[in-house]
Structure 1
Amino acid sequence: MSIRKLKSKKYGYIYQVDMRYKDPYGVTQRHTKSGFRTKKEARNYEASIIEKSNAKVLIPESRKRTLNDVFDEYVEIEGKIKWAPATLYYYIKTHQTYVKGNFGNVPIESVSYVSLQAHINELSQRYNYPTVKNIKKVYSVIFKHGVRAGYISINPVPNILLPNKPEKKEGVEIISDDDLKRLIEEIIKASPNRCFAKKAQYKYKSYGIALLIGRYTGLRISEVMALKKEDFDLERNQLTIRRRIEHAGLKRKEIYLTERLKTKSSKARVEICSILSEYLKSWFVENPYDFVICDEHGDFISPVNFQERIRDTAKKLDIKFHYHMLRHTYATELMVAGVNPIVVRDLLRHSTVNTTWNVYTHPSRDDQRKVLDDLYDDNVEFMDNDMKIRF
């Protein structure tokens, strides 16, 4: 008999469905589910399983897997293949910090839309919007994998709303050349009281070159840190991007090179400006190593240490700055100058022009006003002659 009556401390009695059925491949499977308050509920559930079996529908397995179990399985089966190490590290870190010790212990089959939405609402009271958005991404991969693996039949995440969504900011954050000049001049200074000041100054000059490369190429920091002299053709003003460093969650000695870039289009040859070429010609005379950005021994520079010095220096100078602003500045300057978006896409190595268009076509109000003034400047004469419109 597939329906059993069981004792329950809370309700006195509950009913359990324990049945065997044929899956879509003709293999006999066992399916068990408890907790029904009445025998009628259990019979209705049993009938739904029989109906799905007859329709050759894959029935979720009842294995009491928690969200943590499913996430760990996702990492091993899909994550390590699908994601770059840095992206996978981001998912694992978010899971460990915000999911594992809390909601992660709940069996995945018992999570409903209502309980998950209530959980997200509660998180929104404690964390800011970007953090909760990242947590939702982790739940998304968990439930998608749960559906694919047959542990659940419905994914509630697409219906989950994120409370307290901030208003969309106009445009992107950029840095002026004056502020960048001040930042670089301060960064390359080595304290005269510091031991090994000469070696430190070499490293800090390397920091300054990294900022200039970001400013005049829009390269990501992991790409800049992996550049070698052989990647540049300074006579033709060309640069080939072919690798980046993998550093997420790694100590400095564990950092390594990888040719797996963000997208296929990230690996490319691009043109660079003469200004950057001149800076690099001077730097290559002083730098005896193969890597363009390195410490006094020619070793990798940790992006963490690099960004800490940048952050501290920017704070000291009261300049709002993070490294990715250089990419925004480069792209925005090209778009404002009227460069064809296809050219901008190629220089930034975006996968599609839509990315370029959606991110960097948000000029400021001053830019909008200037365009209108320039466009209708010739109409002033029209308004001053005898044909002036009178209302």
Structure 2
Amino acid sequence: MKRRSNGEGSIFHDKKRNHYVVRLTYEDSLGIKKRKHIYGSTAAEAKHKAKEWKKANLSKDNKLTKNPLVSEWIDEWLETYVKNAVRPATYKIYKVCLAPIRQAFTKHRLDQLEPTQLQNYFNKQLTHGGRNHTGLSPFTVRNQRRYFANCIDTALKLGLTNKNPVRLTKSPKQTKAEIQPLSQYEAQILLNQAQQELEEAKTIKNSHKIMVSADLYIGIYIALETGMRLGEIMALRWSDIVIDSYITVQRSKSEVKEQNITSPKTGIGRKIQISQRLLSALKEHKRIQNAYKKELEDLYENDYRIIGGLLGKGFHARHYSSRLFKQLLQRAGIDRRIRFHDLRHTHATLLLLSGVNPKIVQERLGHSSINVTLDIYSHVALADQAVAINALDKLNL
């Protein structure tokens, strides 16, 4: 049997995906050993692609050469410098934002990128960079530019290129998106509708309908009273309720495959005090869930989640928020565009309008700093100023 030459790489057949994979080992510019996987429908195709990649990107001693292809460097940067440094959901955003850039400049090398060329690209993204050639938002294009600039910065530090033309482009002008909190009246109407549907499900004694209605009701209740993110609510377990008065937020549910449970967004857990009314609702929810689990027996996967869904595995976030929640909004007669995340905004807005110290609101929401809270909810400052003027009027200055 003929031996492979040094650096040729190993090849194997992936039966699950029915393709051949060549695995190459090489060194980057810092002398760190890396691996590259190259795929083909046949062994010959995979070997040919591997040979072409080595010719374009590696020197004779199997080291990464300067000035790699833009597409190859984006892949390398994402896998080596980003993947293990950010949350799985954030990594997914990086990949999505850089995918069109990777495609647009796939045949370019790093030193072939020019500022004017890149500026024209970002400008076109604003007009027809999205699906069906609709324009992307300034926020999305700003992120594309920012991630790509960081990507080239790393190449510059590693000596793979001698310039970063992305830094010479202009980021699109940002317009601050308005948040859409519910009014106190709308919040009560929504919660009442969810509770009413739960009671109706109990009346017809449909166990599946009861469980889904209960999960929807308690999720909305928790969001409105605590300001927790949907992923954090989906990851809640019964052990997270402490001394019958606090919920501890220790994890978040991610929709990224094989990364189901992660730490909260800021990486730091927090404690949120809850009311006795929410505690009573949670106890009733647990009673409903226990009865449902008893009925399903071994079919229910007991992960001790507060929102367990029909089989104990919980819900996919999109199904819960874009289907169950939005349909409930319609039945409640709330016909404007409201996301589940707006319940978090509703919680914060109602607290601030009631005169609660912004520092307390920041702690409940889990923001990294009070500046984040004040920036997001700057609209509430108008109400605060009105209170200040009323106080000044009473002083008769």
TM-score w.r.t. length of structure 2: 0.69
SS in 1 for 2:279: helix
CA spacing shift, 1:186–1:103, aligned 2, 3 Å: farther
Does the 8 A contact of 1:85 with 1:246 survive in 2? yes
**Paired residues for 1:1-391 under 5 Å:** 63-96=66-99, 98-126=100-128, 127=135, 128-163=137-172, 165-166=174-175, 168=176, 172-186=179-193, 189=197, 198-233=207-242, 235=244, 237-248=245-256, 250=257, 256-258=260-262, 260-265=263-268, 267-288=269-290, 290-309=304-323, 310-314=325-329, 317=333, 318-363=335-380, 365=382, 368-377=385-394, 379=396
Does the 8 A contact of 2:358 with 2:370 survive in 1? yes
- How far apart are the structure 1 equivalents of 2:336 and 2:395? 40
Does the 8 A contact of 1:203 with 1:296 survive in 2? yes
CA spacing shift, 1:341–1:186, aligned 2, 3 Å: closer
How far did 1:303 drift?
A: 0.5
Does the 8 A contact of 2:69 with 2:110 survive in 1? yes
Does the 8 A contact of 1:255 with 1:300 survive in 2? no
Query: Could you say which residue in structure 2 is the equivalent of 1:47?
Result: none
Does the 8 A contact of 2:138 with 2:174 survive in 1? yes
Uncovered stretches (5+) of structure 1, i.e. residues with no partner: 1-24, 26-60, 383-391
- How far apart are the structure 2 equivalents of 1:118 and 1:226? 43
Amino acid of the structure 1 residue aligned with 2:208: K
SS in 2 for 1:222: helix
Deviates more, 1:151-160 or 1:83-92: 151-160
1:79-135 CA-to-partner distances (Å, cap 9, x unmatched) read: 111111111112112333x22322344222111222111211122221132332232
| CA RMSD, Structure 1 to Structure 2 (Å) | 3.0
Uncovered stretches (5+) of structure 2, i.e. residues with no partner: 1-29, 31-63, 129-134, 291-301
- How far apart are the structure 1 equivalents of 2:192 and 2:360? 32
Does the 8 A contact of 1:203 with 1:295 survive in 2? yes
How far did 1:285 drift?
A: 1.8
1:267-320 CA-to-partner distances (Å, cap 9, x unmatched) read: 122322333222212212222262101113222211011012223443563033
How far did 1:215 drift?
A: 1.0
SS in 2 for 1:321: coil
- How far apart are the structure 1 equivalents of 2:123 and 2:89? 28
Query: Could you say which residue in structure 2 is the equivalent of 1:48?
Result: none
SS in 1 for 2:253: strand
SS in 2 for 1:270: strand
- How far apart are the structure 2 equivalents of 1:169 and 1:367? 21
Does the 8 A contact of 1:335 with 1:361 survive in 2? no
How far did 1:180 drift?
A: 2.8
1:124-177 CA-to-partner distances (Å, cap 9, x unmatched) read: 2211323322322332332222223322233233442234643x356x431123
1:335-361 CA-to-partner distances (Å, cap 9, x unmatched) read: 333333332222222222222232234
Q: Aligned residues, how many?
A: 310
- How far apart are the structure 2 equivalents of 1:185 and 1:337? 22
SS in 1 for 2:103: coil
How far did 1:233 drift?
A: 2.5
SS in 1 for 2:368: coil
TM-score w.r.t. length of structure 1: 0.70
Does the 8 A contact of 2:66 with 2:159 survive in 1? no
- How far apart are the structure 1 equivalents of 2:152 and 2:383? 45
Amino acid of the structure 2 residue aligned with 1:219: M
- How far apart are the structure 1 equivalents of 2:237 and 2:188? 24
CA spacing shift, 1:165–1:360, aligned 2, 3 Å: closer
Deviates more, 1:206-215 or 1:281-290: 281-290
1:166-201 CA-to-partner distances (Å, cap 9, x unmatched) read: 3x356x431123323433455574899xxx953033
SS in 1 for 2:180: coil
CA spacing shift, 1:129–1:315, aligned 2, 3 Å: farther
SS in 1 for 2:326: helix
